[in-house]
Amino acid sequence: MNRIFSSYHLLWRGWFLCAMLFLSIALVSGEQFGLKTVRVPIEDAQILLQCDASKENLSGYAYDYIQTIAAYAGWHVEYVGPVGFAEGLEMLKEGRADVFYDVSYSEERAQYLLYPEMPMGTEDFYLFCLSRNKGIIAQNLSSLQGRRVGVSAGTTGRDRLTKWCKSKGISLDIVEYDSTLAKEEALQNGEIDMNLEVSMLAHSDYSAVARISTDEYFLVASGKRPDLLKDIHDAWEKTTSINKYQFTRLEEKFFSDVVVSKTLSADEVEWVKGHQVFRVGYMNHFLPFSSTLEESGEATGIVKDIIPLMLENVGVKDKLRVEYKSFDNSDDMYVSLLAGDVDILFPMQGDISYAEKHGVLFSLPVIGTTVDLAFTGTFSEDKTASIAVNGNNSLQVSYTRHFYPKAKIVTYSSIQECLDGVARGEVGSTILNGMRTVPLLSRPEYSKIRVAHLPRSVDIRYAVKRGNQHLLSLINRAIAVTDDSAAITFCYRYAYPAQMLTTTAYFSSHKIEVLSAIVVLLVIILVAALFFIRAVNNAKRKLAIANRAKTSFLFNMSHDIRTPLNAIIGFTEVARRNRNDLEKRDECLQKT
């Protein structure tokens, strides 16, 4: 009986362990820690949500949006696909997926999808052509007649485009494609002239021809999962109650550089026709942004690199000859711009009120930069009690007065003199543009100066004369279609130049260290020389003693040897003379 009971006990324990293992696997596979498993199709266009083949490395606006909702909804998200847009909707309809993104509203879809009250965002639908297609002209609808246009199957694109064509009196040949990728490929191959797409999905070689409509798009739930719709609502409310602009910042993060059109508007074209020369005023001695080469007198810095690139990107580089004019202070730049001597100024920084006071218009940001506080020693509030400013740079003066209103302003005639004042302790600190910090402080005499990054960054912009809105729109369009990384790359070229440290420059900034090193070196040389002289004298003394010993030895040896030799020689000579006298000879030989 005990054996039977023991066997049953072991069998029961085995089943219990298997059940626990199965439960653990089930928890890990999705419902772990009470999380709901939510299946999301990945659209094959992979613009709003990008992934690799393993679907482990995900990114994009839709991914961040879904994960933000999932964080407060308690979801464990599983991504499936990629699939076409129409297939993704079908998966929700059949219950094979739970949530889908970038879905606009229609009465038909509302029969099997659940729409939340708040959209993911707003999207503009445009007709796009390739930038190289010169036969299609923006704002000239007659150039669109009879063109072939691609739309994505299963979307509301055909209905939107048909409605727009009817309102404009235009006839288009509409072709549907099963996926966004197939539609893009057809456009690149010339099978269609345009495609209908939202602006956020436009490629860099696309040019917008006409805006068709504006619509909201949603993160929708399957009609079979009303619990997920409630989750979306609750998570959205909680997110925005903590940070009202959370989702707005997500849109700015991913769509701030969306390209709409490289094609100039009619008034921009007219401006170009009326100005064969594009005159640029720039600040001298302001690298990496702008300066003048001493050898040739030509402009240098990113002003010389970025402007031709921008004009090329909007197709007017060959139509405008760029001329550069340097200025030593910003006030003279404004006077020249308002007088019509130049068309544009660079670099500029400031807010709208600053621009209005000076009678100018600021462009979109060309590049953002940090602001540094330069000081010596240990930082304390005393460092901002007095701040050096360059009297020729009204932007630096304005920034300093705005953010440090209680500081004592000490005016110098250049930023180098400001740094000299800081290095000598005449003033507590000075303000530096973050992109200029490295080249400015690369001089040896500023080796003791430290910097602290200030939390208030600034944007570097162009400025045009107020009322010249056509040039402003042209410049802003050129900025929008130019890759942000271009300006940064150009800046690094001038902000981090190769520095050659000369002996004179190093000595001038390290006098005490150099002199101390020279004194130590001389002492070492003197001590070594004394030791060497003493060693030579000791060697000479030992050599003299050895010579005397040798002489004495040879003298004594010579005397000791010479005496018996003389005797031997003498007896030998006597023996030789008496060789016939045997007795005498034997006597001499015995004595030798």
Summarised one tens digit per residue, pLDDT across range 293-322 is 988 999 999 999 999 999 988 888 889 999
Instruction: Give residue 89's pLDDT.
Output: 93
| Cα–Cα dist 147/167, whole Å | 17
The secondary structure of residue 540, as a DSSP letter, is: H
Residue 73: pLDDT band (50, 70, 90) is very high
Instruction: Give residue 553's pLDDT.
Output: 65
What's the number of CA atoms in the CB half-sphere (13 Å) around residue 98?
19
Side chain identity, residue 448: K
Shortest CA distance to 81 belongs to which of 90, 70, 73, 72?
Answer: 90
| Cα–Cα dist 413/420, whole Å | 11
Contact 222, 93 (CB under 8 A): yes
The secondary structure of residue 282, as a DSSP letter, is: E
Q: CA 178, 181, 183, 187: dihedral to nearest 10 degrees?
A: -160
Instruction: Give residue 498's pLDDT.
Output: 47
The secondary structure of residue 41, as a DSSP letter, is: E
Shortest CA distance to 164 belongs to which of 123, 127, 216?
Answer: 127
3-state secondary structure of 278: strand
Contact 418, 390 (CB under 8 A): yes
Choose the most confident range, by mean pLDDT, from 151-155, 352-356, 369-373, 393-397: 369-373
- How far lies 59's CA from each of 4, 55, 64, 430, 465, in Å? 60, 10, 7, 41, 42
The answer on pLDDT for 10 being more than 50 is no
Task: State the chain's mean pLDDT as an integer.
Answer: 82
| Cα–Cα dist 96/39, whole Å | 8
Side chain identity, residue 72: Y
The answer on pLDDT for 5 being more than 50 is no
| Cα–Cα dist 62/217, whole Å | 11
| Cα–Cα dist 179/152, whole Å | 6
3-state secondary structure of 318: coil
3-state secondary structure of 194: strand
Instruction: Give residue 41's pLDDT.
Output: 93
Summarised one tens digit per residue, pLDDT across range 448-465 is 999 998 888 888 999 999
Contact 565, 592 (CB under 8 A): no
- How far lies 380's CA from each of 116, 370, 383, 387, in Å? 52, 20, 6, 13
Summarised one tens digit per residue, pLDDT across range 325-359 is 999 988 899 999 999 999 999 998 877 887 888 88
Q: Strand 75-83 vs strand 173-177: parallel, antiparallel, or unpaired?
A: unpaired
| Cα–Cα dist 437/453, whole Å | 10
